[in-house]
Amino acid sequence: MIAADDLIALVRNYNPKTNEALIRAAYDYGLSMHEGQFRRSGEPYFTHPVAVAAILTEQRLDDATIITALLHDTIEDTKASYAEVETRFGHEIAELVDGVTKLTNLQLSSTETQQAENFRKLFMAMSKDLRVILVKLADRLHNMRTIKAMSAEKQAKKARETMDIYAPLAGRMGMQWMREELEDLAFKVLNPEGRASIMRRFITLQKETGDVIPRITGDMRTELEKAGIDAQVFGRAKKPYSIWRKMQEKDMGFSRLSDIYGFRIITRSEMDCYKALGAIHQRWRAVPGRFKDYISQPKSNGYRSIHTTVSGRDGKRVEVQIRTQAMHDVAETGVAAHWSYRDGVRSENPFAVDPAKWISGLTEQFISEEDHEDFLEAVKLEMYTDKVFCFTPKGEVVKLPKGATPIDFAYAIHTRIGNACVGAKVDSMRVPLWTRLKNGQSIEIITAEGQTPQATWLEIATTGKAKTAIRRALREADRERFSKLGRELARAAFENVGKKATDKALDTAARQLRLSDRNELLARLGSAELTGREVVQAIYPDLAPTKTEEIDRARAVIGLSPDQRFDRAPCCQPLPGERIVGITYRGRGVVVHAIDCEALTEYEDQPERWLDLHWHSGTHPAIYTATLDVTIGNDAGVLGRICTLIGEQKANISDLEFVDRKPDFYRLHIDVDLRDAEHLHSLVSALEAESDVAAVSRLRDPTRLNAQRN
């Protein structure tokens, strides 16, 4: 176990102004609190907190973080209390220790719902003070280094949790060295044979070719010296898990995998980075498509470096990273660089990001997500994907995950832009919204007033922010639409029994049906989760209509004289259950319009022609035609599936017309024979749920009335 003096010496190396007395007091307090406790390996338990503190000294972290590491298990595993820690070491350290304790109690590998909620708590804890997760990561790293003492079952569980959660989180924070070590330690547990195989092949390769790292490193130093560039060069073989992952992704054997070596060039200035790149490319051939400039386009965690891959000795590909020392410090510690000390003061690294801004940008889009699975999906999307960098027409940079689409780009700019998106141009060329964006492209989003997100966008979007905004907009739109339709259905259902659907009546029905309020009742009624009969029966069980024989069309409308016949207006195609009004014609009887039909404005100055009508209550036959405006994907079998779906809803297709044909979409008008407004709503809901349907709406065209007259 590292002694107190040795630990203090490690801190003093980068922070001569360290509070040695406070660190020693924390060391002694932790040692006494954990006295008599042992790890599974048989070592005194306090060896673990000390080792965690030592790991954090490698990142040159502040005294508060080092002390938190020494005390991170005291509140949970000993008789120590929050109040006592606060009294001895201050409020800041007590809060950090308490935060780590709460993180330790999160079971991140539990069921989906619990995991999502715990992820939410994890991000909230990080948002308060990111140093909490730094201690937790160091804690996990030491536990993985000493995992052999655990049972095989616990080893597998901890390793899977490390691979799925902690390693990607470390990478997302920019702590690449920790991510690689965590992945490799977990890989050793989860697939020991695979790791051993990689190691054996490395040994065989070294025997065949010798150790190529010193030779390539020497060659690079020579080229840099020729160019007059003062720089350090380091080389290494990539970690076994990194190689294994590349083999799986590229589906190739070890012998065919070329870029298994990585080299790092550390220069004195940013200008020297680009000079070094020129020297390397002049000496070795660059591999196309393997160049990334993270100096001009930094990652969100502050990472800056130039990445290139070249063909080195014997045609072997090698990856080269070029950066300054300041960039290298951030690359090693990521967001933790904000707390790094050098010579007793906070390191004023120009590339270290503000952790508060970083974590708020990562969490703000998830806090409002209500659905647990949606939240978990969004978190994993943001944590586990690489980035692409695109430009707005004004030249501003937008960072997105690899595989992002124009929909993601639009929502990254602003939710309002995303909601109103109708198209996109990539490098001035119009492209479909599902186009995958690439680095360096310029994106222009085309918007239109009145546009709303489509359900199909959920399959197109990849970012958590876009998916969250789309789901929220769809929920709000659906609720408003369903509530409006539900109000009309409730009115018709109550009128059928001689009652009125007042707010008080609806509130009473909601209570009887154990719903939160009348708004929820109307939304459920409009979405066909409830029927008008069920709502009426909740208040008037004796008056609720029962199923009867179908009503003959001749007596479907009440309010006509015995000698009057009626026709449905083609402009609005009213359906049973909707409010209606009649307009009389000489020799033609009565034309029935929906009460909100635009064509009725022509008759405002002819009140003598208006008749107050309503549909007969009861069951109507499916003979009333309504026209649907449907946009479907242009793909084999789609139209057939849509027609089958309509038939499954007990609706008959009486006519079908293609009105617009595009390479990717067809727009058509479908005449369907229906029973009533409720039948129409059920059909539209079923079509909207179909992934091949981009849009569906009821077509009401005032010009049809004029066409009928002519």
Would you please indicate which residues are annotated as catalytic (active-site) residues?
76-77
Does residue 445 contact residue 409 with C-beta atoms inside 8 Å? yes
d(CA 514, CA 161): 41
Q: Would you call 51 helix, strand, or coil by DSSP?
A: helix
Tokens coding 332: 């090693």
Long-range contacts for 507-510 (Cβ within 8 Å, ≥24 apart)?
508/538, 508/539, 509/535, 509/536, 509/538, 509/539
DSSP 59: T
Kind and range of the H or E run holding 71: helix 63-71
Which residue, 151, 135, 120, is CA-closest to 52? 135
* Cα distances (Å, whole numbers) of residue 603 to 582, 587, 596, 611: 11, 18, 13, 12
d(CA 538, CA 528): 16
d(CA 84, CA 162): 32
Does residue 670 contact residue 630 with C-beta atoms inside 8 Å? yes
d(CA 82, CA 364): 29
Tokens coding 629: 């405006």
d(CA 115, CA 113): 5
DSSP 597: -
Tokens coding 368: 């409002």
Give the other-Cβ count within 10 Å of 497's Cβ: 17
